[in-house]
Amino acid sequence: MSTTDDDDDDGRRRRRRVSAPERASEALRGVSLFAELSDADREALCGRLVEVTYGDGEAIVTRGEVGTRFYVVAVGRVRVVGFDDDDGGDGDGGDDDDEGRDAGTKKTKTLYPGETFGEVALVRRCLRTATVIAAAPVVKLWALDRATFHETLKKTTFERRCEYTDYLNLVPLFRETLDARTRSMLVDALRMATFESGSIVVSPEDAYDEEGSKFYVILRGEAVVRMDDGELTEVNRLQRGDYFGEVSLIHKTSPTATVVAIGEMTTLTLDAESFHRMIGQDTISAMAKKLESYAYASNKVERKPRRRLHRVGSLLALRGAVTSRFRWLSFERKQRSTRKRGSPESLRNNRNCVKSVTPSLIEVNSRQDVTLLKEVGGGMLGAVFLAKTLNTHTVCCVKIMHKWKILHLEQRSNVCRELQLMKTFDSPFLTRAMGSFQDAHTLFLLMEYLPGGDLFQLLVSGPFKGGKFPVDVARFYAAEVLSALEYIHANEHLYRDLKPENVLIDGSGHIKLTDFGFCRRLALSERAYTTCGTADYMAPEVMLAQGYNQSADYWSFGVLLYEMLAGYAPFASVSDGIRHRRIITSDLKFHTPYFDATAKSLISRLCIVDVSKRLGSSARGVLDLKTHDFFTEDWDVVTARRLEPPHVPTRKDAQAPHEGSVTRHRSREFYRSLDRRGERERMDAGARPLTAEASASFYGF
C-alpha cells in the first residue's frame, strides 16, 4: 500500500494516493473522455487518482461553483440534484435513474460504485450544473483535478511522441527523405503492436486491403524472413530499426514472403491507406526505385545468393517481389484524378501571393485624438467602438481594454502578441492594425472598419432564408476562410479560435479573420498543449491536452462549414457534458438533406478524431482540402479576391449624429462610462487596483 497523505477535515474527510489504481481502470474506460485514450494514458491517470471520503449528507459538488475535479464512485452512493437539462454535476457517466421530480423541473439521480460525474471540469473551467450529495454513511470517491489531468496527458503524449520520433529516425530512408513536418505527422498515424515468439506477422496468404495490410518498423526483438521455393528458406533477419511490408503496399499485392517473430517482437505499424497518403510520393518512389533494381523472373522471385544480401531495413533485401507489369496502373490513375483542377505542384506554390492593401497607419497618441461614435461590440477583455480620428477623419474601430482585467485574466502576453501579429501579417483575408496607444489604465487598439459585420450576424439576420447558407454561398466563404488559414499556417502559426463571430466581412463582401489572441507561433513539426478556444469548435486533441498542430484548425473549419450549411454547430447539445462527449467521439450527424454529398464527405473527413486520417494531415497538407470535390473554384482567383461575393453590405457612413461639439461631448461620455464600468467590474471581480509597475509592463503596446 502506498503511503497516505492525510488531511483531515472535521475527522470525516481523508485524501490519499490510491493504493491500487487498477481498480478504477474499468470505470474510466466507460467514460467517453477516457475511452478515446490509450491504455497507457488511462493507466497513468489511474495512478494520479486520489481517494476522498465523505459522510452521509455532505455536499461533494455544489451547483453554481467552479468545477475543477472529476469523480469516480468507489464505495457507497451519491445523489445528484439538478434540473432537467443538467448533466450530473457537469458530465456524469451514470445512467439516468430518475427517482423523483419537483414540479417537473428538478430531478434527482443516484450514482453507484463504478459510475462517474464531473468530467467536463477536466476539460475547461466551468460552473457546476448540479449538486452532488453523499447518500451513504461512508462514501469513498476517486478524484482527479483538471491540472493533474492536463499535466499527465501532456507528459505521456510528449514522451510517446519523442519515443516514436526516435524510432523513425532509426530508419535511414525516412531520415533522409522525410522532412520534420511529415515525420511529425507520421507519428500520429503509427500504432504499436506486439507479437509473441513464433507469430506469423505477414504471409503470402494474406490478401491486400487498405486496412489489413500494414507497414512495420521493428522497435524491439527480431524477425526472420522466409521464402517458399518448394520449402521455406530463411533469406534474411530483421532487427531493431528495420522495416518490412512495403513491397505489398507499393504493388498492392499479397506479401511475397513470410515474416515470423523470433522471441517477443514489438513494432510500429502503419496501415496501407495512411502509408500512401502520409509518407509522400518522393519516399515511395525511393522505395520503388530500390525494388526495380531487383532481378525478376516471370511472375517468380529470382533470389540472389544469400551471401550477397544486404540488410537495408526491409523486405527489399529479398532482391525480388511477385509483381505484375501493370502494378502502377491503379496508382497512376489515382494520381491523375487529383490533378483535374491543376497539379498539386502548382497549388503548392500558391501561398496567398496576393498581398493585402495595407491600411494606412494612423498617428494617434491619446484618447483625445479619437472620437468615439458608437459601441459596436465587445468581448472578454473589452469593448469595441466605431470611431473617427480627429487629424485624418479616418473611420476605424477601436478596441478598448482595461489593463487590470488583462492582468487579472493572465492575458497580457496574448494581447501583446495579437497586436504584433496584426502588424506583421499581410494577407487580404486577415484584419490589420492601424495603430495603438495606451494611457495609465487602458489600452487602445485601432483596426480597420469592416461594415459587413461578422458571419454569425449574416447567418442569423442576413438575406439568406432559414438561418443558413445555400451551398454555393457556403462554398465562397469556406474557400476564403481556408485561404486565410493557409496563410497563417504557411507562416508557421496556429489560429485556434475559428468561429463565425471571428469571420468579418469587409465593404466589398470578402472575409477577414480577426481576433488573434489565441494565435501562436508553431513550427510545422511541433505540437501545442494548451487547451483554449471556443468549446463548440474545439478539436478532441485540444480538449484532451494530447498535443495538436495546424490540423486542429481544420477540425474547426469542418465545424464552421457544417454550421454555415445547417445553421447550428454539429455538436451542439443541451449540456456541456453531452457536447464534450459528442466532440470526443466525433458524433457527427447530418439531420437535414440540405447537405450535398461533397459537403458531407469534406466535413466527415475533417471532423474525425484520428488526426492521422484528417484531411490536411498528409504529406500534401492543405492540398488535401483544396483538391476536394466540394471546392470547384480556381484557387488563383480565390486568393486574388476576384470571386464575386454572394452578399455585399451597404456601407453606412459613420457620422452620427453630425460633426461638432455634440459628437465630441458624446465621445467624452463614452470614455467616462467605460472608466466607471471598468472600476465596477474590477471591484466585483475582487481584482487588485492597478499599480504603476503593472501598468508599465505594457510598454511598447
Q: Which residues are catalytic?
A: 497
Inter-CA distances, 193 with 201, 250, 314, Å: 10, 21, 17
**Which residue matches cell numbers 461594415?**
451
Q: Using DSSP, state whether 282 is helix, strand or coil.
A: helix
DSSP single-letter state for residue 149: H
Mind giving me the DSSP string for 641-652? T-SPPS--PPP-
Q: How far apart are alpha carbons 282 and 277 in whole angstroms?
A: 12
Q: Which residue has the cell 462554398?
A: 475
- Please choose, from the candidates 222, 227, 232, 219, the residue with its C-alpha nearest in 3D space to the C-alpha of residue 247: 227
* Alpha carbon distance 281, 285 (integer Å): 6
Tell me whether strands 131-134 and 232-238 are parallel, antiparallel or unpaired: unpaired
Between the two ends of the chain, the Cα-to-Cα distance in Å is 55
d(CA 683, CA 295): 82
- Tell me the Cα Rg of the chain: 30
Q: What cell was used for 159?
A: 514522451
The number of angstroms, rounded, from the C-alpha of 575 to the middle of its chain's C-alpha atoms is 21
Q: What is the DSSP string of 25-38?
A: HHHHHTSHHHHTS-
Backbone phi, then psi, for 564, in 5-degree steps?
-65, -35
Q: What are the E-state strand segments in 241-369?
A: 243-244, 258-271, 296-297, 300-301
| Cell 469556406 found at | 478
User: How many DSSP H helices and E strands does the chain contain?
Assistant: 24, 29
Report the distance separating Cα 661 and Cα 360, nearest Å: 27
Backbone angles phi, psi at 263, to 5 degrees: 70, -175
Task: For residue 4, give every residue at least 6 positions away whose Cβ sits within 8 Å of its Cβ, in sequence order, or none.
Answer: 14, 16, 17
